[in-house]
Amino acid sequence: MSQPVLSEHFQKRKPSAIRLAQIEFMKRNDSTKEVNTAIGNVSLPMHPAMKKRLFALKDNNSPFQEGIVKYTATVGLKETNDAVLNIIASSGLDTSKLYSQITDGGSQAMELVIIGCCGPAGTNARPLMLIDAAYTNYNALASRVGRDTVSVSRTLGDDGRFSLPDMAKIEAVIQKHQPGALVVIPYDNPTGQFMTRDALKSLAQLVVKYNMWMISDEAYRELYYVDEPVSSIWNLSDQEIPGIEGRRISIETSSKVWNACGLRIGALVTDNQQFHQQSVAENTANLCSNAIGQYIFGSLAKESHEDLKAWYSKQRQYYRNLLFEVHKELTQTLPGIIVSSPDASIYSVVDVKNIAKPGFNALDFVMFCAQKGSVPINEENYTLLVAPMAGFYSVAQGE
Write the pLDDT tens digit of every residue in 319-368: 999 999 999 999 999 999 999 999 999 999 999 988 988 888 888 888 99
Total Cβ atoms within 10 A of residue 2: 4
Region 254-267: mean pLDDT is 95
Beta-bridge mates of residue 150? 129
What's residue 345's pLDDT?
Answer: 94
Q: What backbone torsions phi and psi does residue 31 show, to the nearest 5 degrees?
A: -95, 10
Parallel, antiparallel or unpaired: strands 155-156 and 162-163: antiparallel
What's residue 397's pLDDT?
Answer: 42
Total Cβ atoms within 10 A of residue 70: 8
Half-sphere exposure of 72 (CA within 13 A, CB side): 24
What's residue 37's pLDDT?
Answer: 86
Region 138-151: mean pLDDT is 90
Q: How far apart are CA 74 and CA 284, in angstroms?
A: 6
Q: How far apart are CA 38 and CA 40, in angstroms?
A: 7
Tens of pLDDT, residues 302-333: 999 999 999 999 999 999 999 999 999 999 99
What's residue 395's pLDDT?
Answer: 52
In residues, how long is the chain? 399
- Percent of the chain with pLDDT strictly greater than 90: 68
Q: How far apart are CA 327 and CA 173, in angstroms?
A: 34
What's residue 394's pLDDT?
Answer: 75
Return the sign of the alpha-carbon dihedral for residues 285, 73, 245, 85.
negative
Grouping H, G, I as helix, E, B as strand and the rest as coil, residue 49 is helix
At 40, is the pLDDT very low, low, confident or very high (cuts 50, 70, 90)?
confident
Q: How far apart are CA 23 and CA 27, in angstroms?
A: 7
At 396, is the pLDDT very low, low, confident or very high (cuts 50, 70, 90)?
very low
- Nearest one of 250, 220, 186 to 345, comparing CA atoms: 220
Q: How far apart are CA 172 and CA 174, in angstroms?
A: 5
Quick one: which H or E segment has residue 319? Answer: helix 305-333
Cβ within 8 Å of residue 212, ≥6 positions away: 117, 129, 174, 179, 180, 181, 182, 206, 247
Q: How far apart are CA 327 and CA 343, in angstroms?
A: 11
DSSP state, residue 131: E
pLDDT at 48 over 50: yes
Region 44-53: mean pLDDT is 96
What's residue 220's pLDDT?
Answer: 95
At 379, is the pLDDT very low, low, confident or very high (cuts 50, 70, 90)?
confident
Grouping H, G, I as helix, E, B as strand and the rest as coil, residue 197 is helix
Q: How far apart are CA 89 and CA 239, in angstroms?
A: 19
Residues 172, 177, 181, CA angle at the centre, nearest 5°? 95
What's residue 336's pLDDT?
Answer: 92
Q: How far apart are CA 173 and CA 13, in angstroms?
A: 27
Cβ within 8 Å of residue 41, ≥6 positions away: 261
What's residue 327's pLDDT?
Answer: 94
Q: How far apart are CA 30 and CA 11, in angstroms?
A: 30
Q: How far apart are CA 117 and CA 171, in angstroms?
A: 19
At 6, is the pLDDT very low, low, confident or very high (cuts 50, 70, 90)?
confident
At 135, is the pLDDT very low, low, confident or very high (cuts 50, 70, 90)?
confident
pLDDT at 124 over 80: no
Tens of pLDDT, residues 181-229: 999 999 998 899 999 999 999 999 999 999 999 999 999 999 999 999 9
**pLDDT, averaged across the chain:** 92
Grouping H, G, I as helix, E, B as strand and the rest as coil, residue 283 is helix
